[in-house]
Structure 1
Amino acid sequence: MRGGQGPVVAIDEAHANFHRMEGQYAPFAALLRADGYRVRAGTLAFDAGGLDGVDVLVIANAGATGERPTPPAFTEAEGAALEAWVRDGGRLLLIADHTPFGAAAEALAARFGVRMGTGYAFAMPDELNLTTTLVYPAEALGAHAILTGRSADERVTGVTAFTGQSLEGPAGATMLLRMPAGARESRDLPTLQALAGRLEQAGETGAGAAEAVEELSAPALPAQGLAFDHGRGRVVVLGEAGMLSAQLIRFPPESGQADRRFGMNAAPGNARFGLNILHWLTGLLP
């Protein structure tokens, strides 16, 4: 699939999307173009021409309006149009990150039988520490063509997610990324920060860690990546968007902090994962 003659991939930009084709998702768009996909911005509502001529629709972190409480990013008419389009053979990659993006996409996801945690998911390497960087080694990956690819060099051997939410799929969905054992989710960032503070205090006093975790979080849903058929179409849902970006955060020299990379430039398996998702959505993988 070379020469830019492949399927058309539209990256949604019509719904206050935080991740856009020329912004956070420019590296992802470049990856797809290098593989022959024709990538364009989606600037129209789904019920007003936004799905015309599109083979794969990518929605990444819609609803970055700053409005609280977070309203749905999509109208009922758009949701109905998109669900019908997928059911009739369309292909959808829906990505919604930590709050507020889960709440913005929650109603749309429900049309496909997906439940969203909507908060900040985290793992606990021990009883006093938490991390929102979730590493999925080979043994945490599901059994799916997206993960095995077409040959040994296309196999996904690991994926890293950078602060997202958890998911639960409909019956028959494959969990591409299984949440770590004991993973939890706090409802918002202030609650997560309060929990981190309580755990630090517990480390000093030797008590109260379990109570803080119970009070300020709930068990996470089982997955952070899902794949399933919907009618004649295909759907992949991810609970974290940064994994398909390639970002660099530079800190002032006086801060003493090292620059931080996250996304495909920090976890090489993520690029293979993203490309295989598109291969499956477009039928190159069974």
Structure 2
Amino acid sequence: MRRFALALGLIALAVAAPAVAQQQMTDPDFHPTVARPAFAADGPVVVIDGAHNNFHTVDGRYAPFVALLRADGYQVRGGTAPFDAGGLEGAGVLVIANAGPADGGSPFTASEIEAVERWVRGGGRLLLIADHAPFGTAAEALAARFGVKMGKGYAFAMTGEADLTTNLTYPAEAFGDHPIITGRNADERVSSVTAFTGQSLQGPEGSVILLPMTVGAREARDLPTLQALAERLEGGAAREAALAELSTPALPAQGLAFTHGEGRVVVLGEAGMLSAQVVRYSDGQPDRRFGMNMAPGNAQFGLNILHWLTGLLP
């Protein structure tokens, strides 16, 4: 299991290697800067949802993203109210990152889902992020209201005959020419993006794929299934038979952008790419980092997403 554990994203490592004491935290050495901030002061208000069992919040695992946006001139605050009871008031952009399931299903009421859809249709801007299981299940009903299908499992790619990874890197040659990729000038063009253990997505008609899923990528329904597949392959099982039994073809994307009525929507199938985390071990292993601290292109990708959502990009 060693090769598999090292290939997994850091959220999964806590489950893959429970015998080793770990501490996962925001990287204290990550201090984002923006050479030319989009707003000198009083930029648009970005509300990061914290009212739905969120794994990523403004003062928690998304503090690095908050610091990046504030360095770019945005006003960022945490959301604490339901979306149908004041949670959308004053928001220029709503960010929902890894809302957690409630009773095994959606943490959003039907009324909240309708409120968000109506708000976006009238001109609101939404960044919806849902990671590997169980976060896809939690966000599924809200995503479906915008025509987005979620894989809901663990997306992965094969890196050899018997090795797999859930850390997926998207190089420049994989990108199209959407403004989120090209930015406002050559300096803002996204050179690469790395995702750290997420799910796959399929967008509605007319949506643009920002992160096209790696060719041949597949998805396991949950972490135990992914571990069983890794063990089967490492033990010498027939590759194609094991893949067919324990996984399905991944959906075509891990990042989408589209308009919805008068509003704009970006959906990502992985949350760690816009954070900066470090895992520290008690057995002397070196620290392991993931997010913007390990993939510098991710920060520009995050900035460009907000620039497009707030109308700085066409």
Both structures adopt the same fold (TM-score exceeding 0.5): yes
Match of 1:239 in 2: 269
Q: Percent identity?
A: 71
- Partner-residue secondary structure (3-state), 1:267: coil
Is the CA contact 1:143–1:174 (under 8 Å) kept in the aligned structure 2?
no
Do the aligned partners of residues 109 and 272 (structure 1) sit closer, same or farther apart at CA in structure 2, a change above 3 Å counting? same
Match of 1:62 in 2: 99
Shift of 1:257: 2.5
Match of 2:202 among 168, 177, 180: 168
Shift of 1:3: 4.1
Alignment of 1:1-286 (within 5 A): 1-63=38-100, 67=103, 70-202=104-236, 207-252=237-282, 255-286=283-314
Deviations 1:73-97 (A, max 9, x none): 2000000000000000000000000
Query: 4+ residue runs of structure 1 moved beyond 4 angstroms?
Result: none
How far apart, CA to CA, are the structure 2 residues paired with 1:116 and 1:6?
Answer: 32
Is the CA contact 1:4–1:33 (under 8 Å) kept in the aligned structure 2?
no
Unaligned regions of 5+ residues in structure 1, if any? none
Structure 1 counterpart of 2:153, one-letter code: G
Structure 2 counterpart of 1:116, one-letter code: M
Structure 1 counterpart of 2:43, one-letter code: G
Is the CA contact 1:143–1:176 (under 8 Å) kept in the aligned structure 2?
no
Shift of 1:128: 1.1
Deviations 1:30-54 (A, max 9, x none): 1101111000001110100111111
Shift of 1:259: 1.1
How far apart, CA to CA, are the structure 2 residues paired with 1:83 and 1:143?
Answer: 27
- Partner-residue secondary structure (3-state), 2:164: strand
Deviations 1:154-196 (A, max 9, x none): 0001000000000000011010000111000000000000000
Structure 2 counterpart of 1:241, one-letter code: A
Is the CA contact 2:101–2:137 (under 8 Å) kept in the aligned structure 1?
no
Is the CA contact 1:118–1:166 (under 8 Å) kept in the aligned structure 2?
yes
Shift of 1:134: 0.3
- Partner-residue secondary structure (3-state), 2:243: helix
How far apart, CA to CA, are the structure 1 residues paired with 2:107 and 2:161?
Answer: 37
Q: How does the TM-score come out when normalised to structure 1?
A: 0.95
Measured on the aligned residues, the alpha-carbon RMSD in Å equals: 1.0
Structure 1 counterpart of 2:276, one-letter code: A
Shift of 1:256: 4.6
How far apart, CA to CA, are the structure 2 residues paired with 1:25 and 1:96?
Answer: 14
- Partner-residue secondary structure (3-state), 1:41: strand
How far apart, CA to CA, are the structure 1 residues paired with 2:168 and 2:51?
Answer: 29
Is the CA contact 1:159–1:270 (under 8 Å) kept in the aligned structure 2?
yes
Unaligned regions of 5+ residues in structure 2, if any? 1-37
Structure with larger RCO (C-alpha < 8 A, sep 6+): 2
Deviations 1:174-225 (A, max 9, x none): 10000111000000000000000001001xxxx4221111100000000000
- Partner-residue secondary structure (3-state), 2:225: helix
How far apart, CA to CA, are the structure 2 residues paired with 1:62 and 1:263?
Answer: 19
